A and B are shown apart, each in its own frame.
Chain A
Amino acid sequence: MGELVARFFLGGTLVALFSVVGDLFTPKSFAGLFAAAPSVALATMLLTLHKEGAPFVAIEARSMIVGAVAFTAYASLVAWVLHRRRARPTVVAVAGLAVWGAVAAIGWALFVRPL
């Protein structure tokens, strides 16, 4: 239970901190960089290092490469759709998560699972 509470507070703090730093910058497209900050990754890695050690976290980081490629596909698609269609931004951003899931799943099956 204590570990979950630590995860919650560390993850929440890092996500909020990166968001606040992002809010400080203009233009807004530069501030958007902070939406892809490694906040959840840092919080998870810091806590996992303590429990499982560096080799375990290195394996996580290697798999994260595929997740990051999926994130690129997701963010590019959301920007592209919103630029060309009069769609509701929140609906596009939530529905686009399926693209992240699909690209991550394909990357997992092709590159991560066989390792």
Chain B
Amino acid sequence: MDDTLQAVVRATPALEIAPFAVRVRRIVQRVASQFVRNVMPPLVTLAILIGIWEIACSSPTASLPPPTKVVSDTWQLITQPFFDGGGINKGLFWHIFASVKRVALGYMLAAVAGIAFGVLVGSSKLAMRALDPLFQVLRTIPPLAWLPLSLAAFRDGQPSAIFVIFITAIWPIIINTAVGIRNIPMDYQNVARVLRLNKLEYFAQIMLPAAAPFIFTGLRIGIGLSWLAIVAAEMLIGGVGIGFFIWDAWNSSLISDIILALIYVGIIGFLLDRAIALLGRLVTRGTAST
């Protein structure tokens, strides 16, 4: 007891002299070790791949440009993302913004409708028998196959693209929500019955939180599929959007522009996926383990 007390007394001055410097050094060390562990490996892989690409495409007869040429060709696009020359002559930011806006709209609609249908199919045996077989057939239709039909129905590119996103994203949301609702443990239902929760309270207090991890699995698959579908859909409908930008670049043989756009598409898709995953983690905090 006495020894430890003395040890503490002896140790205290040192702590008082340099607490700030020590703390800063610890934080720097932690960030550095995190960096080495998590960020370095993909960066090294990337560097190797770019190196191989550079070597493979550096001959004058190569059909694709090497990375150095991509950068020099597209330097204007990279440095002026907010450029707006009217019509479809815009910087990449505006194209991506238009695509994300379409996805956001179609995806929101799909989330609302998908969760609603999922709840219905998950909680009613009759609804499940009536709807599930239809869903199972409809969900196998490729997203782009809906486009001509929706163009015929809406007679306009914009709502058609949004509809394609909607119809692409809705199936995984419906199916996962329904599974989540069906898997609500009997115990929770019993708790609700003992407490005499009404339908609305049961929905808000038990059903949604219990099914939330499943719902977010569906939402995450949905956002990925939406982003896959929008690029293809925009190639066909034209106008401002990253999909048509790529198609337009192909028609003008601007291969470097295509490559830059693909990189942006990949990064945005990754960010969308992460955003939904983060939202899911925040909302379903604590529900994973019992």
The answer to whether A and B interact is: no
